[in-house]
Chains A and B, each alone.
Chain A
Amino acid sequence: MSANEDIRRRIEVRISQGEFLANMLHVAARQSDEVQHQFVSKLSSLASVVRGLLDNNDLLCKLTYRPGDFWPGVKGKCFAFIDGGVASIDLPSAAPIGIRVGSYIVRPGDETDRRERFNIELALVDDLFSKTGILYEDDFQDIAKLRDAARIAGETAAAYRLTRASRDRPDVIILHGPLINPVSPYGLEDFPPFSLAACRKFLVQDTWQGRDSDRQFVALYLELLDRLRTTGVPVVGVVERSVGRDPVVLRRILDKLRDDGVLKERDAKDIRDEIILYGLNDASLLDVVMGEGEYLTPIPVNRQGPDNKWPEPWKSDGVIERYPKALTTYLKPSNLVMPFRIEAFENIAEYEAVLELILHTSRLLPSYGFPVGLDIVDRFAKVPSWMSRSIKRQHQIVLLKKALEKRDPRAVAFAKRVLAAKGRDWLFRPSA
């Protein structure tokens, strides 16, 4: 069967499925009748072009699923899977955070009690960004962003912590989510720094002293990534769902082909425009382009976006510029499932062996098609609602106690607000 026939067959299979249907609806809502009518045929020819480019430029590799040989071959190796869970706490306090980062460490073929180990590598129940640890008085209101920043730092810190372990030091660490995240959203001027205690916990260094700027997410995350990269332990991030419609990796490949003189500037632009016109992101186009066990030749991608969007002062200080690129690929474990993104540091050792591990762990969930170790650690690290409630209660108690101790009317009023938790309560009626 030719590559084009393969593509057509895959499109036919996908035509009634969620992602595809969503793209068709996206096109229907935004584009002309002609574009709508030609969706399938255009997509087919676009996918054939991309397939041809990948094939002719050695940008596609293939792994074979051979569980009978693979698993005995990794007997006794130590693999770690990491994921973070965030408690959902809604308090009028600025940044109550309940985060825990779990790890699942497993040695295939080991029949002793050491075979598998579940551990909470980091558990932070704190007002992470508060200077005093009591009341957060900053003006930054986007709590979701604060939590995200804490989770991202926490997950990277957990991986770093594992590389320093004297026992069960992993041969490979696999994170749930991107290895390198865009940092601009967390680099805004009023984004508060982490507390010193949280930073020390993240860096596994009780004596660490950092200025306010060092404790900012952008600086601290870079420090963590640098430390993690220099350990030499292969670390990858596996991204379950591709969100957004920007085909970042395909754009990067087209740029590379243009730079290498394979594509003319105009041709590269036409292909890119067409991908965007049809609302396709990397995963949805590669889903019909790639076959079972195939992956893109890894390509370094700058995850920090265009520098004109980098916030000051991180731009002028050159901090964001120093962020490592993510060596990125997409792997399609089987014909049943969509490909997913895998990120690594550029200096990663034995990348193909790691990808083979990811393929084989993904095939253990045939219809979900995602590394089963990450599915396991995801369930383990998830913060259940009963735990979130307990964390909330603990926050309320500490806050009220401290407020009463301080005898500060403002703090007491704030604590009352926290306890009442409803804005339009009689307690908050405007005074005359």
Chain B
Amino acid sequence: MSDARTPLDPLVAPAVPPLELSARVRASVAQTPAPRSTLRARLALALVAVPLSILAGLLGSCVVFPGRPLLRIDLGALPFVPFAERLLVLLLLAGMATGVALAPGRRGLGSKVTLLGIAAVAVAPLYTLLTNVGPIGTAVGDAAARALHPLGLPCALVAFAVGMVALGAFGLALRRAVPAAPVNRAAALGGAAGAWAGVALFLQCPAKDALHLLVGHSLPVAGFALLGAIALPRLLRP
């Protein structure tokens, strides 16, 4: 026996699954149906669901809260450039959070955990910064805002409805597709859903009051990251 071979004998046994185990695996696989829809198709559907969820949330709020306009009452009077800029930045924020949360990543195991963490944690503070610091509005909006709930509870409900639809769509798109870091991924999906809910509120609510914006707008946005981290991981794991 060669010198090189001798010490290796105890370890030489290749770790091959026993035949009986292989037969069991083959039998169980043969009996188990597997979904055929590809991940890309599911992700595309989820992305289509986002604008629909915003539209449905806004329309629904008009029905549930009579007198609430579909879009902010001062939309026509708002200075176009500041409004468009802010809306664009909010859309970018939501889009980037969604991209990070849904991206399959280079290795097919999702974005890096640091990016997922940023998407989960940073959305709410950035949203707050963009909407609460120097909120844009007009006298028409201010007059309408006086009639709004001081804590913005109806706004929180609208955010909840929009965010839940988006979160559900994201969760179903990635169902059984996240074998690594499901909690981080779920939190990032929650962050993204919250960001879209925030966009809906920005389009509809003319409020400039800090308390209203914090409780009715920012808090639900922040809550979605937490909700995602708690509710989604079981759905996402293979």
Partners in one complex: no
